[in-house]
Amino acid sequence: GDALPAGNVSTAVALADKLETLIGIWGIGLQPTGEKDPFALRRHALGILRMLIEKPLALSLNDVLGLTEQAFAGIAAVKPSREAITDFLFDRVRGYLKDKGYTTNEVEAVVSLRPQQLHDILARMEAVRTFAALPEAEALAAANKRITNILKKTDEAIGSVDVSLFQEAAEGALHEAIERVRPGVEAAFAGGDFTAALRDLAQLRDAVDRFFNDVMVMAEDAKLRANRLALLATLHSLANRVADISKLAA
C-alpha cells in the first residue's frame, strides 16, 4: 500500500482529512454501492484503518468517528450514520487481515468483537494463531461455541455465581479453575500480552470438559439452572476478552 505519513502531526492531519471525507460524503448519501465508488471511499477507509492499525495510536475508533461527526454538527444536509460506517470499516478490516495471510476463522474470532483499539489488532491476531495451535484449542473452541449457544437461547436473567448451590463436584472444580486463572488472564490482557492471556485460558480445558460431561446445565430446579448459567457466563466473559474463540471451532 501507499506509504503512511511519518510524524504524529502529519498522521493526525491525514487521519482527520480522510475521516471527514468518509463521513461527509457518506452523510449526503453517496456511499459506495457495488462496483461504484466515485469518491474512493473504500480507499479512504483503508487509509484510515492502516493509520489506526500500523501507527502506535491509542485511539478508539468510536471516539474518532464521534469527533469527526461533530465537525458536521448543524449542517442539515449531512446525516452521519455511525453504525453503517462502522460496519463498512470492519469489512475493510476483514480484507486487510486476510491480505496479511490470516484465515477467515482467525479473522472472525477477532473482528466479531469489534475491538475499538485497532493499534493492537495484529497482536490479537497473532495470539489467536498461537492459541489455535495449542492441543487444548479445538476442545475449548467447541465448548465456547456450545456456551455461546446456551447463553443465546436463554432469556433468564444471569446473576452471579453462588458456590453454596453447587451440587456436582465438576461445578466447584470449574469455578475454582476459573478463579485460579482469572488473575493471570486479566493481568496479561491489561498489559497487552494477548498470547499469554489465551495460553492461560488453555489451562481450563479439563475442567470445562468435566463440567459438560457431569453437569446438566438446564436443570429443572430454577435456582440450580440459574447458577449454572451464571457459571458459564463467567467463563464466557473471561474467555472472550482477546477474541471470540468459538469462531475457531470447525
Each residue of 121-150: pLDDT tens digit? 999 999 999 999 999 999 999 999 999 999
Q: Contact at 8 Å (CB) between 168 and 219?
A: no
More confident residue, 126 or 74: 126
Q: Contact at 8 Å (CB) between 227 and 219?
A: no
Q: Give the residue-averaged pLDDT of 79-94.
A: 94
Share of the chain above pLDDT 70, in %: 99
Q: What is the pLDDT of residue 76?
A: 87
Q: With cut-offs at 50, 70 and 90, classify the pLDDT of residue 4.
A: confident
State whether residue 183 is helix, strand or coil: helix
pTM beyond 0.85, yes or no: yes
The CA distances from residue 200 to 74, 132, 149, in Å, are: 50, 13, 23
55-63: long-range pairs with CB below 8 Å, 24+: 55/4, 55/11, 55/119, 56/119, 57/11, 57/119, 58/117, 58/119, 59/117, 59/118, 59/119, 60/116, 60/117, 61/86, 61/89, 61/116, 61/117, 61/118, 62/86, 62/116, 63/116
Share of the chain above pLDDT 90, in %: 87
Grid cell of 107 as nine digits: 479473522
Q: What is the pLDDT of residue 7?
A: 85
Spell out the residues 6+ positions from residue 134 whose beta carbon is closer than 8 angstroms to its own.
199, 202
Residue 234 phi/psi, 5-degree rounding, is -60, -45
Distance CA(200)–CA(12), nearest Å, equals: 37
Residue 68 has pLDDT above 70, yes or no: yes
The CA distances from residue 147 to 69, 121, 151, in Å, are: 38, 25, 6
Q: Give the residue-averaged pLDDT of 162-173.
A: 98
Residue 250 has pLDDT above 80, yes or no: no
Return mean pLDDT, the chain. Answer: 95
Residue 156 has pLDDT above 80, yes or no: yes
Q: What is the pLDDT of residue 234?
A: 97
Grid cell of 33 as nine digits: 454501492
Residue 1 has pLDDT above 70, yes or no: no
Q: Give the residue-averaged pLDDT of 70-79.
A: 90
Residue 155 has pLDDT above 90, yes or no: no
Residue 169 phi/psi, 5-degree rounding, is -60, -35
Q: Which residue has the cell 433468564?
A: 156
Burial class from Cβ neighbours inside 10 Å (0-12, 13-18, 19+) for residue 221 reads exposed
Residue 72 has pLDDT above 70, yes or no: yes
More confident residue, 34 or 209: 209
Question: Residue 168, Cβ neighbours under 10 Å: how many?
Answer: 15
Residue 2 has pLDDT above 80, yes or no: no
State whether residue 158 is helix, strand or coil: coil
Each residue of 5-57: pLDDT tens digit? 888 888 989 999 999 999 999 999 999 998 899 999 999 999 999 999 999 88
